[in-house]
Structure 1
Amino acid sequence: MTLASGSTLVIALGGNALLNAGEPATGTSQRANIAKVAAIIAPLLSRYRIVITHGNGPQVGLLAAQTPDAAWPLDVLGAESEGMIGYVIEHELAYRAPKQ
């Protein structure tokens, strides 16, 4: 299948895609995995409109485990992890995006 230049591509990244099995669940390892994905997506930015969606299940679980006595409800932790992941994706893509 060939897509016309200017087409919209929707790319979905599951929360588990940001952590490989057996890796430490750290920000450093997740950022490294996002950087790998960004390196694949970045060349597409000059030809297509890109929409990226992402999961955050494992990340919410990690935040919940770090939150003493359930200080924050899961919806707040979900929003926090979505913001963190989205920021890192945007940052890594901007770093690798073709210069115009």
Structure 2
Amino acid sequence: MLVVIALGGNAILRRGEPMSVSGQRKTIAEACVPLAQVAREHDLVVSHGNGPQVGLLALQAASFDHVSEYPFDVLGAQTEGMLGYLIEQELGNVLGNDRPIATLVTRTLVDPADPAFEDPTKFVGPVYTAAEAQVLVEQHGWSS
């Protein structure tokens, strides 16, 4: 049987925890123990979110004045590759390397006229206080 399991980006990189690869690897390693149990008995597809990771990468890229900001589709692909790699590594550690594991990078087509943009419910990156947000609005010319 084919089983599809999704790991949320916020579950991999939890708010309040250090935004580090080692922390994400640890969280993924913990998740891979039950994932491996499923994979031993079924064909398994693991999907994952990457909102916090995209936000972090965008902030890192924005900190360099001499580098053009990367578009979100490219940041998404970069973080998908990173998370896929970590999942492959940690799932392979539990299952053994005799099981084939592959990562796929996806593409998403977004309609700029989608009415969901009027009332966003899923955010990318860190959450700021009103004071922090105002400083960023002034620094970067962002809308508030």
Q: TM-score, normalised by structure 1?
A: 0.86
Matched, 1:19 2:13: yes
| Structure 2 unmatched ranges of 5 or more | 99-144
Measured after TM superposition, the shift of residue 71 of structure 1 is 2.8
Counterparts of 2:95 and 2:16, CA distance in 1: 30
Q: Looking at both structures, which has the greater relative contact order when contacts are Cα pairs under 8 Å and sequence separation is at least 6? A: 1
Counterparts of 2:85 and 2:8, CA distance in 1: 16
Greater radius of gyration (CA) = 2
Could you give the per-residue CA deviations for residues 15-37 of structure 1, whole angstroms, max 9, x where no partner exists? 00102332111111011000000
How big is the alpha-carbon RMSD for the aligned residues of Structure 1 and Structure 2?
1.6
Aligned to 1:81: 79
What is the letter of the counterpart of residue 21 of structure 1?
Answer: R
- What does 1:1-100 align with in structure 2 at a 5 Å threshold? 7-67=1-61, 68-69=64-65, 70-97=68-95
Structure 1 stretch displaced more, 77-86 or 64-73: 64-73
Counterparts of 2:83 and 2:30, CA distance in 1: 14
Could you give the per-residue CA deviations for residues 33-68 of structure 1, whole angstroms, max 9, x where no partner exists? 000000111122221010110010000000000003
Report the structure, 1 or 2, having the larger helix content. 1
| Structure 1 unmatched ranges of 5 or more | 1-6
Q: How many residues align?
A: 94
CA change 1:43–1:76 in 2 (3 A) is same
Identity %: 49
Divergent runs of 4+, >3 A = none
Counterparts of 1:23 and 1:94, CA distance in 2: 25
